[in-house]
Amino acid sequence: MRFLEHTGVSLLVQWIMGAVLVGLLVGCGGNTPTPTVENNALPESASALRFTTVTAGTGLGDFKHVNGAFGKLWFPEIVGGGAGFMDYDGDGWEDLVLVQGGTWAESPHPPVSALALYRNQGDGSFTEVTDLVGLEEVVAYGMGVALADYDNDGDPDIFLSTVDRNLLFRNEATADGQPRFVEVGLAAGLTDIAEWSTSALFFDADLDGYLDLYVGNYVDWSPEKDIVCTIVENKKSYCTPQLYEGTAGRFYHNNGDGTFSDWTVEAGFADAPGKTLGVAEWDFNQDGWSDIVVANDTQRDLLYLNQGDGTFVERGVASGLAFDENGKARAGMGIDIGILDETGQPSVLVGHFHNEMMGVYRQVGDALFVDRSAPAQIGRASMATVTFGLCLFDADLDGDLDVFATNGHISEDVELVMGNAPFRQLPHLFLNEGEGRFSESTLSLTPPVVGRGVATADYDRDGDVDLLVTENDGPVYLVRNELEEGQAVRVALQGTTANRDALGAQVEAVVGARRMHQRVRNGSSYLASSEKTLTFGLGTASQIDTLIVHWPGGGVDRYTALPAQHEVLISQGEGILAHHPLEKGEAMRE
């Protein structure tokens, strides 16, 4: 093989050949159910697990993500597009927002709208309504979405990250009462600076009842700054991020009047290496204030601890989250957080590149973590793949968190130099066996794909959690969970003095001697946004004995004897506003 003589190309060679060597040696939203003690009423039900890819039969078969490639091999073409679930019209059914990607001005390809919206018909199918809601002419090279009610008016809005100016779409009702999205980014205070942004999340950083916004940025790239790299002879290939300067993320404070102020410097986010691909929220020190973890690609990962005064302090290195066990930065991509074992301590999971173990950082002290990827029995299997989308969810409704990772390489050329690293890859499903150990399921959730984003929701309202997987320059995969056993209670929260979406709420479910905890969160995974309704797996238990809701900013509500296979809507200080049964089998609109 002959490589172009470029200072950056040597890094590319080291990256590829290092992966080959390790490969020879060794042969990747979150709702967060949390078991803390054993409970015989919640048995394992892995044998009853069954997932079916139902894309074509649900009206999504014509969707295709477009990365705009036309022979130049520009860096953003490898990143892919995200997706998310939200109930845009308030009918109780989770609809789909899909990032359709984009094309380049220099390209001969016709332009596409950066976003597509599909309405859930309530019968297991979806209908595209992009043009009906005003999203048919969104001109941008889209990356990811963050979906939340940022203006507290009772309906979800859309933030779209792009390789240029980011866009914010406010959900507004027309004269006939139909939802319509209006782009208000500049008017709302988002910067007009061209930055390549990726994953983002809404969270109430200062507990004033309004959702603030953190936007992860990647690298300083433009067509004029594109670098030529090769893998095979003198054929151009996609470069690695080491060759570009990173761009720090941005933090926007919600002013409470529909606008934001850029507080990146004031809040302590300006001094960051950039190259961000994933971001997730959690309250690690249980002081009531949201902290965030940022996964960076070939740069140290970051832990921002909320000081409760409008500022954050970065403690990634001191916490043990920043590097691998050898002190090296890895290719951080998808991310999620949850409690995986009986310790009751959260774990931060980060998806990495081929021949890099998925990070499984369990908290062991005050903002201190240890990586348990190997003892968790996740590390070895995850080294065979390039993990982008990553989510924790209770696949088998047994009360503990399982791990799903969608995988795919960045360039087809890799198959020419790395026989053990296919371009299209199968996903991972790691089932939680308890005590922090996992086993990899042999279930086939999707075919081999160039996997990127993954989001979760119970889109058919049967009580188990389904998956949505995106493919770079390819179709979308709706994967229905057809679990035959196991029951659940689903809990939707609505804030009054807290933010309307109740982001940051902690919910504890007591079932017999067992306690489970979930946190209402935005962000996580990769370029994606999962539903905010919480699903508590009960196994064969008949009810949640006690449900305790800790609202953001203070206040606690308690409820008893919530029956299995029901969904409840709880309003802060007002109690249960609605409930309905969850039926197995095909969902039907009420």
| Those residues with Cβ within 8 angstroms of residue 62's Cβ, 6 or more apart along the chain or in another chain | none
State the virtual CA torsion across 38, 350, 445, 452 in degrees, nearest 10: 160
Positive or negative: CA dihedral 435, 441, 446, 449: positive
CA gap 49, 26 in Å, rounded: 29
In angstroms, rounded to a whole number, what is the distance separating the alpha carbons of residues 393 and 317? 28
Only one residue has tokens 């597009």, namely: 81
User: In the 3-class helix/strand/coil scheme, how is 151-179 assigned residue by residue?
Assistant: CCCCCCEEEEEECCCCEEEEEEECCCCCE
Task: Give CA–CA dist 245/243, Å, rounded.
Answer: 7
For residue 273, which of 249, 243, 304, 306 has the smallest C-alpha distance?
Answer: 249
What local confidence, expressed as pLDDT, does residue 325 receive?
A: 84
The tens-digit pLDDT sequence of the chain (590 residues) is 222 333 333 334 344 444 433 333 333 344 444 333 333 344 444 558 999 999 999 999 999 999 999 999 999 999 999 999 999 999 999 999 999 999 999 889 899 999 999 999 999 999 999 999 999 999 999 999 999 999 999 999 999 999 999 999 999 987 788 899 999 999 999 999 999 999 999 999 999 999 999 999 999 999 999 999 887 777 888 888 999 999 999 999 999 999 999 999 999 999 999 999 999 999 999 999 999 999 999 999 999 999 999 999 999 999 999 999 889 999 999 999 998 988 889 999 999 999 999 999 999 998 899 999 999 999 999 999 999 999 999 999 999 999 999 999 998 877 767 667 799 999 999 999 988 899 999 888 999 999 999 999 999 999 999 999 999 999 999 999 999 889 999 999 999 999 999 999 999 999 999 999 999 999 999 999 999 999 999 999 999 999 999 999 999 999 999 999 999 999 999 999 999 999 865 443 43
**What is the DSSP annotation of 393-456?**
E-TTSSSS-EEEEEEB-S-TTHHHH-TT--SBB--EEEEEEETTEEEE-----S-SB-EEEEEE
300 beta partners? none
Helix locations, 139-277, DSSP H: 264-267
| Contact assessment for residue 535 and residue 463, using Cβ atoms and an 8 Å cutoff | yes
Q: Is 462 helix (H, G, I), strand (E, B) or coil?
A: coil
Contact present, 547 and 562 (Cβ < 8 Å): yes
H, E, C per residue of 556-580: EEEEEEEECCEEEEEECCCEEEEEE
Residue 419 confidence (pLDDT): 63
DSSP state of 74: -
Tokens for 51, please give them: 């997932």
Whether the CA torsion 393, 397, 402, 407 is positive or negative: it is negative
Residue 48 has what pLDDT?
Answer: 82
On the 0-12 / 13-18 / 19+ scale of CB atoms within 10 A, 454 is buried
Is the full-model pTM beyond 0.85? yes
- Alpha carbons 114 and 280: distance in angstroms, whole number: 24
The answer for residues whose C-beta is within 8 angstroms of residue 567's C-beta and 6 or more apart is 461, 489, 490, 491, 492, 533, 579, 580, 582
